[in-house]
A and B are shown apart, each in its own frame.
Chain A
Amino acid sequence: MISWRGVFKRFLSDPVAMAAGLVLLVLVLMAALAPLLAPQNPYDLMQLDIMDSEMPPAWKPGGDERFLLGTDSQGRGVLSTIMYGTGISLLIGLGAVVVQGVLGITIGLLAGYKGGWIDAFLMRLADIQLSLSTLMMAIIALALFNAAFDANTYADYAIIMLIVVIGVAEWPKFARTVRSSVLGEKNKEYVDAARVIGLPARRIMWGHILPNTLTPVLVISTIQVAEAIMIEASLSFLGLGMPTDRPSLGSLIRSGFEFIFSGSWWITFYPAIVLVVLVLALNLLGDWLRDVLNPKLRRGDN
C-alpha cells in the first residue's frame, strides 16, 4: 500500500518533480488570478487602443513599459492575453479529462466487473476508437460543427464542444486502465464478502472496487490533461477551436502566426513557450507519479 506521506517525501527529494510542480502551481495561479494580476483586461474593448498594436517587448527599442511582453495586432498586451488564455486552455484540459474520466471509469468498471460479451464488446469498441486517433476525430467533429453553425453560435459553444469532443474521443484510455485494475481486484476476498452479504453489483463496483483502482487513474489523469491541452491547442491553431476574441493558447499562436514574417515574433513566441512549459510540466509530473505509484505501468503501452 502506498502512503501519501511517503509519496510527499519522495516528491520533496526529487528536484525535477519539485520544479515541475512549482511551475505548474505558478501557471495555475497566474491563470486563476488573471483578472486581478493581469496589467490589462484584453476583452475590454474600452482598454484597447489600436495605436498600441504590434509593439515589441518592453526592453526592446519601441517597447512600452505598460506591455512587458509586447502587444498583438489589436493592441492587446501579450502578457495579459497569455494569462487569460492559459486559464481557458487549463479549463478545457481539465474539463475534457473529467468527461473522459466519468465515461472511462463507468465503462471500465462495467467491462471489468461484468465480463463476458459486455466486456468483449466494450473493449473492441475501445480498440476501434483508439485507432481512429483523437485528433482526427476531433478535427472532423469540429469541422462539421464549424460548417453547420454560424460564427456567433460557434463562438458561444466552442468551449463546451471542445470539452465534449476531446472528452468523448479519449475515454478508452481510462476504460482500459480501470478495467485491468478491476480484473485484478474483483476476485479478492473483500469483493466476495461484499457479494455474499448481498450488496447490489452497483454498490460493489462503485463503493468497493472503484476506490482501489484510483491510483492508476490518478497517474493517467495528469498525462491526459497534458494531452487534452495539446489537442485543444492544435484544434484552435487550425481555426477549429476557440475563437480569436476569446483565445486559448492555441488561438493566440494562430493569431500571431502571420506576423512572424513581418518580424513580430513575440505574439507567437510567448504563448508558445507557455504552452510547451505547461504541457512539459504536466508530462514530467505524470511520469514521476507513474514511477512512484505504479512502476508496472509504462508509457509506451497505451
Chain B
Amino acid sequence: MHILAFLIRRAVQAVIVMFVISLIGFSIQDNLGDPLRELVGQSVSEEERDALRDELGLNDPFFVQYVRFLGNAVQGDLGTSYFFKRPALEVIMDKFPATFELVLGAVFIFVTVSIPAGIYCAIHRDSWFARIIMTGSIIGISIPVFLTAIFMVWLFGVELGWLPAFGRGDTVALPWGWDTGLLTLDGWSHLILPSITLSSIMLPLFIRLIRAEMLETMGTDYVRFARAKGLSTSRVRYVHAFRNTLLPVVTVGGLMIGTLIAYTILTETVFQWPGMGFLFLEAVNRVDTPLIIAYIIVVGLIFVVVNTLVDFVYTLINPMVKLPGAKA
C-alpha cells in the first residue's frame, strides 16, 4: 500500500514537471522564429500569408494552440527540423544511442573507480596513497570538464597519437534501429577518451562523499556491535558499513543527473561525439527551433524517468525507509 501511494505521488510529480517543460517548449515555439518564413520564404504576399496563418492555426488563441501542441507532442510529433527537413523527434532519437553509450561508459568507469577509492580512503585514511587521492580530488573538482576534455584530446589524440579523439568510429546497426559502437574495436577505442572525461568530473565528488559517509557509518553503534559479535572485519566493512554509505550516494547520484546531461553537451562538443548534446548546440547555432524544443522535451523526460527510478531504488535499498506520503 505504501509503495502504491509513493508511486502515485511520484507519478503526479512527474506529470507536473513534464507539464511545465511542455509549457516552456510551447512558449519557445510561439515566440522564437516564424514558421511561415521557414515554410514559404519572403516572396509570398501579405494576404496569402494571412490565409496560410489561418490555415495553420497560428491565429488561434494561446490555449487552443497549446492543446494542439500537447496533443501532437503526446503522439510523438514535435515538429519538423528546419535544417534536416525531418521530424525533430526522429533526428534526436537517431543521436540517442551515441549519448547513451557515452554515459554508460562514464558510469562504468565512475562506479569501478569511485567506490574502491572511497572505501580505501576511509579505511586507510592516514596512508600516503589516501592523502594523494584526497589532494587529487580537490584539484579534480577545480578543473572544468571541458578542460579535461581538451587536455585528453591534446595529450592522447595529438601529442601521443594513441587514441582517436574525434567522433564515434565504426558503428554497427542493430535490428531495432540502434547504432552501436560497442561491437567494433574502433568504436571502443573512440569511446575511451570521452567516457573518461565525462566520468572525471563526478569522480572527486563521489570519492569524497563515499569516504565521508563510510567514516561516519564505521563509527556508529551497529557497526561496532557487529564487530563485537565476532563478524569478520571485511564482512563488517563491506556488508554492514558500505551498504549504508550507498544511500547518500544514490541520493546525490539522483541529484547529479541534470548535471551529467549538461556535461554530455560539453564532452560531446570537444570530442565531436555525434550525440544529442552536440546536435543541440548545432541546433542553437542554426536557430532550429523544433529541434531545440525536441531536445528540451526529450531531456526533460529522461530526467524525470531517471529521477523517479532513483527514488524508487532508494526506497528499496534503505532498510528503514519511510516512504513520503505514508504514515509512519
Do residues B262 and A147 form an inter-chain contact, with CB atoms below 8 A?
A: no
In angstroms, Cα B269 to Cα A253, docked, is 14
B146 to nearest A CB, angstroms? 5
Count of chain A to chain B residue pairs whose CB atoms are closer than 8 Å in the complex: 105
Task: Name the one of B31, B143, B154, B292 contacting A276, with C-beta atoms under 8 angstroms.
Answer: B143
Do residues B252 and A300 form an inter-chain contact, with CB atoms below 8 A?
A: yes
B226: interface (CB < 8 Å): no
In angstroms, Cα B205 to Cα A298, docked, is 12
Q: B312-327 toward A: CB 8 Å interface, digit per residue (1/0)? A: 0000000000000000
Task: Name the one of A140, A237, A265, A280 contacting B138, with C-beta atoms under 8 angstroms.
Answer: A280
In angstroms, Cα B280 to Cα A134, docked, is 17
Do residues A238 and B281 form an inter-chain contact, with CB atoms below 8 A?
A: yes
Nearest A-chain residue to B288, judged by Cβ: A147
A100: interface (CB < 8 Å): no
Do residues A234 and B266 form an inter-chain contact, with CB atoms below 8 A?
A: yes
Q: Say which size band chain B's interface belongs to.
A: 35 or more
Do residues B262 and A135 form an inter-chain contact, with CB atoms below 8 A?
A: yes
Do residues B144 and A300 form an inter-chain contact, with CB atoms below 8 A?
A: no
Which of these binds chain B: A33-41, A125-133, A178-186?
Answer: A125-133
Within 8 A of B (CB), among A269-288: 272, 275-276, 279-280, 283-284, 287
Q: Which residues of B contact A136 (CB under 8 A)?
A: 258-259, 261-262, 299
Q: Which residues of A contact B33 (CB under 8 A)?
A: 147
B153: interface (CB < 8 Å): yes
Q: A54-87 toward B: CB 8 Å interface, digit per residue (1/0)? A: 0000000000000000000000000000000000
Do residues B266 and A237 form an inter-chain contact, with CB atoms below 8 A?
A: yes
A293: interface (CB < 8 Å): no
Q: A228-252 toward B: CB 8 Å interface, digit per residue (1/0)? A: 0010011001111000000000000
Within 8 A of A (CB), among B274-319: 280-281, 284-285, 287, 289, 292, 296, 299, 303, 307
In angstroms, Cα B256 to Cα A144, docked, is 23
Task: Name the one of A134, A148, A260, A279 contacting B32, with C-beta atoms under 8 angstroms.
Answer: A148
In angstroms, Cα B201 to Cα A279, docked, is 14
B115: interface (CB < 8 Å): no
B150: interface (CB < 8 Å): yes
Q: Which residues of A contact B31 (CB under 8 A)?
A: 148
Minimum-distance CB pairs A-B, first 10: A133-B258, A135-B262, A280-B142, A300-B209, A136-B262, A133-B259, A143-B284, A279-B142, A147-B287, A136-B258
Q: Which residues of B contact A135 (CB under 8 A)?
A: 258-259, 262-263
Do residues B259 and A276 form an inter-chain contact, with CB atoms below 8 A?
A: no
A261: interface (CB < 8 Å): yes
A146: interface (CB < 8 Å): yes
Do residues B258 and A238 form an inter-chain contact, with CB atoms below 8 A?
A: no
Do residues B142 and A276 form an inter-chain contact, with CB atoms below 8 A?
A: yes
B67: interface (CB < 8 Å): no
A234 and B144 in contact (CB under 8 A), knowing A147-B289, A257-B150?
yes
Do residues B285 and A239 form an inter-chain contact, with CB atoms below 8 A?
A: yes
A142 to nearest B CB, angstroms? 9
Q: Which residues of A contact B254 (CB under 8 A)?
A: 131
Q: B136-171 toward A: CB 8 Å interface, digit per residue (1/0)? A: 001101111111001001100010000000000000
A268 and B142 in contact (CB under 8 A), knowing A135-B259, A136-B262, A143-B292?
no
Task: Name the one of A226, A275, A300 contacting B212, with C-beta atoms under 8 angstroms.
Answer: A300
Q: Which residues of A contact B98 (CB under 8 A)?
A: none
Do residues B258 and A275 form an inter-chain contact, with CB atoms below 8 A?
A: no
Do residues B265 and A131 form an inter-chain contact, with CB atoms below 8 A?
A: no
Do residues B145 and A284 form an inter-chain contact, with CB atoms below 8 A?
A: no
A191: interface (CB < 8 Å): no
In angstroms, Cα B158 to Cα A268, docked, is 14
In angstroms, Cα B141 to Cα A280, docked, is 8
Q: Which residues of A contact B213 (CB under 8 A)?
A: 300
Q: Which residues of A contact B150 (CB under 8 A)?
A: 253, 257, 260, 268, 272
Do residues A230 and B212 form an inter-chain contact, with CB atoms below 8 A?
A: no
Do residues B142 and A238 form an inter-chain contact, with CB atoms below 8 A?
A: no
A226 and B142 in contact (CB under 8 A), knowing A148-B32, A260-B153?
yes
6 contacts between A and B (CB under 8 A): A130-B255, A133-B257, A136-B262, A147-B33, A147-B289, A260-B153
A299: interface (CB < 8 Å): yes
A210: interface (CB < 8 Å): no
Do residues A260 and B158 form an inter-chain contact, with CB atoms below 8 A?
A: yes
Do residues A275 and B147 form an inter-chain contact, with CB atoms below 8 A?
A: yes
Do residues B139 and A280 form an inter-chain contact, with CB atoms below 8 A?
A: yes
B208: interface (CB < 8 Å): yes
Q: Which residues of B contact A300 (CB under 8 A)?
A: 205, 208-209, 212-213, 248, 252
Q: Which residues of A contact B143 (CB under 8 A)?
A: 276, 279
A14 to nearest B CB, angstroms? 15
Do residues B307 and A233 form an inter-chain contact, with CB atoms below 8 A?
A: no
B28: interface (CB < 8 Å): yes
In angstroms, Cα B296 to Cα A279, docked, is 30
Within 8 A of A (CB), among B182-233: 205, 208-209, 212-213
Do residues A131 and B255 form an inter-chain contact, with CB atoms below 8 A?
A: yes
Which of B150, B252, B255, B256 has the most CB atoms of chain A within a 10 A radius of its CB?
B150
Q: B83-119 toward A: CB 8 Å interface, digit per residue (1/0)? A: 0000000000000000000000000000000000000
Do residues A146 and B284 form an inter-chain contact, with CB atoms below 8 A?
A: yes
Nearest A-chain residue to B252, judged by Cβ: A300
A136 to nearest B CB, angstroms? 4
A217: interface (CB < 8 Å): no
Nearest B-chain residue to A147, judged by Cβ: B287
